[in-house]
Structure 1
Amino acid sequence: MSNAAAIAPAAFQPAYLGADGSAVNWRRVYLGFAGLAGGQFMALLDIQIVASALTEVQAGISASADEIGAIQSIYLVTEVIGIPISAYLSKRWGVRPFYMFATLAFILTSIAVGLAANLEAMLLARGFQGLAAGAMIPATFAIAMTAFPPERRLSANVIVSMIVTLAPTIGPTLGGHIVDSLGWRWLFFINVPPGLLVLYLVGRYLDFDKPDPAVGKNVDWLGLGLMTVFLVSMLYVLEEGAENSWLRDDVVLWASVVTLVGGGFFVWRQLSYRQPIVVLTPFRDRNFSLGIIISFISGAALYGGTFLLPLYLGHVRQYSAGEIGNVMLVSGLVMFLSGPFLGRIVRAFDFRVSLGLGMALTAWGMWQGVYLTDQWGFWEFCAMQVARGLGAMVAMIAASQMCVATMSPALMKDASSLLNLIRNIGGAFGISIMSTVLFQSTAVHAQALASGVSASGALAQAFLGEMTQRMEVMGASDPGGAARKMIGFMIQRDAAVLGYIDAFAVVAAGSLLAAVIGFLATPAGLRAPAIAPEPERPEPD
């Protein structure tokens, strides 16, 4: 929810310039900027570095399959909260001291996550880690626009764009190999050495602005508090609702009430306060409102899809974290390599057509999951990931065009902030919904399969007898018990596969819905260039 202007220094005068502003020490500039870029890289990497190791983390903290998604979604939610805080505190304290504070907090919370012994401790530490990550992200974009003259700004923006795309692309693969070599806790301990390097570079070379204590007088702390209450209570409802019968559970019921009331008061505060955390004026534009809905759905579909694949490979196929990372690399590489090429092509067409085709291609790719079996591996998932990667990239570019196509230029920055906010919330929502669908669907299918294999049925008795004979041949001490346990395992495995099929179908349906909504937009006579969402994490699988 931030943009370059949001935290750009009010009186930008680098200390390393001479009195006449001519003696620029570009070595210091680039080293200081490298510190910011390194911090941003860590913050963006950490959401996806865990993706390929979810099963190992789940086993390490004794979490259930429906609980593990909270490790990802809470990071996304608190990251959203951290971004607006950084906009104010960077001005009040100055970029260097605030960024060093945020980096130190990120290092310490990374250690805390790695040391967590149970789910509750991990979620608490992971939430604070996301808060620190959100504080580290916007400064890089702001400095890229303010610390460099126009002739050097392009190189800075290229660096930022590469980081935004590369971090999530290599995250799952890097995470998988770290887990295979060092164990899952090193997914978080690995942040310490680069974090210390970032602290050194920022502290030694970053000197772009001066603190402005007067800025803090206008901070909308009440609005920030309402947004925090709204997002955290919503996340709790999504994570715990399915397991606790939704509104039949008193805690879930009250959390739902807090979500509705907190969300309502948050919107009221943003509409009435003179300097709101989130400017809602862009919602008056029809295309922007539709684009936000699509961004929410696409964020949910993309993050939800990334959440499903490693879980299937770990739970059903028993892949190692490194093997999962190698499978997930496909769509991330597709997006990374095709982005610049697709960007030029997509902007040449009506954004509604590009959006429709992009989301339709994403839907087709995810629909391949309905043919899932317990033997699918790298090559079976390859077509799905290529289609999803290309479709998602086309859709992201077109959705950005759609949001700003008919909007007043004065609202562009606020629109960019909202676009990133909603996409992050959509990602957290998608992960929670996929956890719910997977949990409920697997349970329903397991019950149906178990009832179908009735012990009194002739076919069931024949199959049990055959399995018992196999166990005898294998030398089992209790052939009958081993046979019944094997049949139970097969039922659970088949139920899990059917649950994943249902979840992939939900992602495909959401993507198709976004494609249809796009055609409700008003065509623009002049196609505006897409706004650049700040930490846009393209789906890295």
Structure 2
Amino acid sequence: MVEALATPAPAAAPRAANATLTDWVAVAAGSLGALLATLDISITNSALPQIQGQIGASGTEGTWISTGYLMSEIVMIPLAAWLTRVFGLRRFLMGTAIMFTVFSMYCGLSTSLMAMVVGRIGQGFAGGAMIPTAQTIIRTRLPAHQMSVGMAVFGLTVLLGPLMGPVVGGWLTENASWRWCFFVNVPVSVALVALLWSGLKPEKSDLEQFIKADWTGILGLALGLSTLTVVLEEGQRERWFDSTLIIGLSLLSALGFFLVALGQFTARKPIVRLGLLRNPRYASVIFIVSTVGAAIYGISYLLPQFLGNIAGYNAQQAGSIMLLSGLPAFLLMPVLPKLLQSADSRWLVSLGLVMFAASCFMDVNLTSDSVGHDFYASQLVRGFAQILAMMPLNSASMAAVATHEAGDAAGLYNMARNLGGSIGLALMGVLIDRRQSYHDAMIRESLTANSTLGQDHMAAQTQGFLAQTGDQALAQLKAIAQLSASVARQASVMTFNECFYLLGIALVVCIPLALLLQKPAASPVR
């Protein structure tokens, strides 16, 4: 009995050792690569008019400069985990970083639309590898008690990249040349290669995995995602299924996804682990991140359109308003890792979704007189919301799967975010086109020749133009043209309000799913 009482209690399991300097170098390399890839998604947006003018592309053709990048990036993202296993992480990432540099220089030197699109496709393919592998590095190189720091760094780069892209691109275009939107990648890529060389250990290639790969799924993935991206990007401009091009691409996309599904049953190791979606916690993450991705990309389209077309802002002025939502990231940076480590992911994501939806509802009462300062409050709230929603989602996606599934989970997670963004942009395009036409028609129907208010307005405008021109007929024509422009402007404002409202509703729908998320396991206390 005495011996039993004297037996010491088992010691608590020691906390895992802190990450080494080499581990943090690897994390820095992964985050820098992700920043480079996400920045280049939108860096050409501000420079498109200048690029199109110098390479001889029309406005419609110029959209392929962005579409080509997105199309190839979204194909590469889910392939990254497999290619990492085939070539080894360091060799694969260094190869894609060099490839990204070469294609960036090729874009900067391009003199034709075809050359530019080829360069952007190559850029997107290389950049798509850098986003999910950054998450994989963090998941495999950092101990549990430091995981939140790494995920915070990764999440900030992914959020800030698309926001900084138009601002950086606009500044370079106005102060140097649009070609520097691509040449600026060269020194950054050199630094990235150096970090990868020193931070990652060399690994042996496994060419057997290349030979025995799920080639049915790989073919289907490349075919399905690339054609789906083009359908979503070009569908509205081509009038959807009135176009034989869209019908053909849709059929190819359906065939591609059929091959991916076939690979789930025939391949020993499918290229996309759709079986991960049987995990309700991980499936909840995927659905939420798709919706949040649609909201982020949708607002990144709506806000510059409103500021440019309604408020009359140039690209650089609109970019400064967009960048306001990045300010909370810097304010929260000192406390974010601790917050992610100590707070429950479910409540953080729920709060983020509530704030994100609220920021959308704050923009549903816009008028034709609204300008940049009317978006200050909503942009700041949106910035806090994106941090609180996206950061825990990054961690929750990794916490929901085993360590050996991290690469596949990261690829599916990032693919879902980008695909959600493409779907969001497509839906915004359809909604704007349809609702603007509807509101324009309704306002015109309400304007009749018997309206006293309308008659007084037209008379006043005609007198004003008559004083300028001295020609009664010309003055009446100018008054009618101004009224028509005013109707179109009001219809556009009403449509923008509806778009923000629907994005808010979509985010509210996701709030119950946040309760299914799993908080990353806390590390044992020392």
For Structure 1 versus Structure 2, the TM-score category normalised by the shorter chain is: 0.7 to 0.9
- Give me the whole-angstrom Cα distance separating, in 2, the residues matched to 1:148 and 1:404: 12
- Structure 2 counterpart of 1:229, from 223, 229, 236: 223
Do residues 332 (structure 1) and 326 (structure 2) align?
yes
- Give how far 1:334 is off: 1.0
Q: What is the CA distance between 1:332 and its match in structure 2?
A: 1.3
Q: Provide the rounded CA distance (Å) in 2 between the counterparts of 1:43 and 1:264.
A: 29
- Structure 1 residues 329 and 85 mapped into 2: Cα distance closer, same or farther (>3 Å)? same
| Deviation at residue 178 of structure 1 after TM alignment | 2.1
Partner of residue 75, structure 1: 69
Map of 1:487 onto structure 2? 483
- For structure 2, the residue ranges without an aligned partner over 5 or more in a row are 1-20
Q: What are the superposed Cα offsets for residues 198-244 of structure 1, whole Å, 9 maximum, x if unpaired?
A: 56887899883454544422333331221122112322332344444
Letter in 1 for 2:499: A
What are the ranges of 5 or more consecutive residues in structure 1 without an aligned counterpart?
Answer: 1-25, 531-541
Deviation at 1:359, TM superposition (A): 0.9
2:167 to 163, 173, 191: 173
2:505 paired with 1:513: no
| Distance (whole Å) between structure 1 residues aligned to residue 344 and residue 84 of structure 2 | 39
Alignment check: 8 A CA contact 1:339 1:393 kept: no
Quick one: distance in 1 between partners of 2:115 and 2:465?
43
Alignment counterpart, residue 300 of structure 2, candidates 294, 299, 306: 306
Percent of aligned pairs sharing the same letter: 29
What one-letter code is carried by the residue in structure 2 that aligns with 1:515? I
How far off its partner does 1:422 sit? 1.2
For normalisation by structure 1, the TM-score amounts to 0.76
Partner amino acid, structure 1, of 2:370: W
Q: Which has the larger radius of gyration?
A: 2
Contact 1:51 1:310 in 2 (8 A): no
| CA-CA distance at 1:384 after TM superposition | 0.9
CA contact (8 A) 2:272 2:412 kept: yes
- Residue 520 of structure 2: aligned partner: 528
Q: What CA distance in whole angstroms lies between the structure 2 residues aligned with 1:121 and 1:233? A: 20
Counterpart residue number, 1:269:
263
1:312-327 aligned at under 5 Å gives the runs 312-327=306-321
Amino acid at match of 2:257: G
**Hey, what does 2:413 align to over in structure 1?**
419
1:276-327 superposed Cα distances (whole Å, 9 cap, x missing partner): 2111222222222222211211111122112211222122222122212211
| Whole-Å separation in 1 of the counterparts to 2:68 and 2:145 | 40
State the partner residue of 1:129: 123
Give the equivalent residue in structure 2 for 1:470. 464
Q: Please give the secondary structure, in 2, of the residue aligned with 1:318.
A: coil
Deviates more, 1:380-389 or 1:244-253: 244-253
1:28-79 superposed Cα distances (whole Å, 9 cap, x missing partner): x999997776544322211243455677778885426xx9877656534421
Residues in 2 aligned to 1:476 and 1:113: alpha-carbon distance in whole angstroms? 53
**Does structure 2 conserve the Cα–Cα contact (< 8 Å) formed by 1:230 and 1:258?**
yes
Change (3 A) 1:47 1:337: farther
Contact 2:155 2:390 in 1 (8 A): no
Larger displacement relative to structure 2 (226-235 or 131-140): 131-140
| Residue aligning to 1:368 | 362
Tell me how large the CA RMSD over aligned residues is.
4.2
Pairing 1:499–2:491 present: no
Cα distance, 1:124–1:464 mapped onto 2, change above 3 Å = farther
TM-score calculated relative to the size of structure 2: 0.78
Mark the CA change 1:39 to 1:391 in structure 2 (over 3 Å): closer, same or farther. closer
* Alignment match, 2:253: 259
Structure 2 counterpart SS, 1:313: helix
- Quick one: distance in 2 between partners of 1:117 and 1:456? 57
Partner Cα distance (1:73, 1:346) in 2:
35
How many pairs are equivalent?
A: 499
Give deviations 1:481-540, integer Å, cap 9, x for gaps: 333332232222222222211221121111111113434x3x86xx3359xxxxxxxxxx
Contact 2:27–2:134, Cα closer than 8 Å, also in 1: yes
User: Cα–Cα, structure 1 residues 112 and 435, in superposed 2: closer, same or farther, change >3 Å?
Assistant: farther
1:279 is aligned to 273
Return 202-211 or 39-48, whichever deviates more.
202-211
Q: Which amino acid aligns with 1:489?
A: A
**Secondary structure at 1:370 match in 2:** coil
| 1:106 Cα offset (Å) | 2.7
Distance 1:388 1:213 in 2: 46
Of the structure 1 ranges 324-333 and 201-210, higher mean CA displacement relative to structure 2 is found in 201-210
8 Å Cα contact 2:444/2:487 also seen in 1: yes
Alpha-carbon distance change, 483 to 155 in structure 1, aligned in 2, over 3 angstroms: closer
Q: Partner amino acid for 2:506?
A: G
Contact 1:63 1:119 in 2 (8 A): no
Higher mean C-alpha displacement, 444-453 vs 121-130: 121-130
Deviation of the 1:362 alpha carbon: 0.6
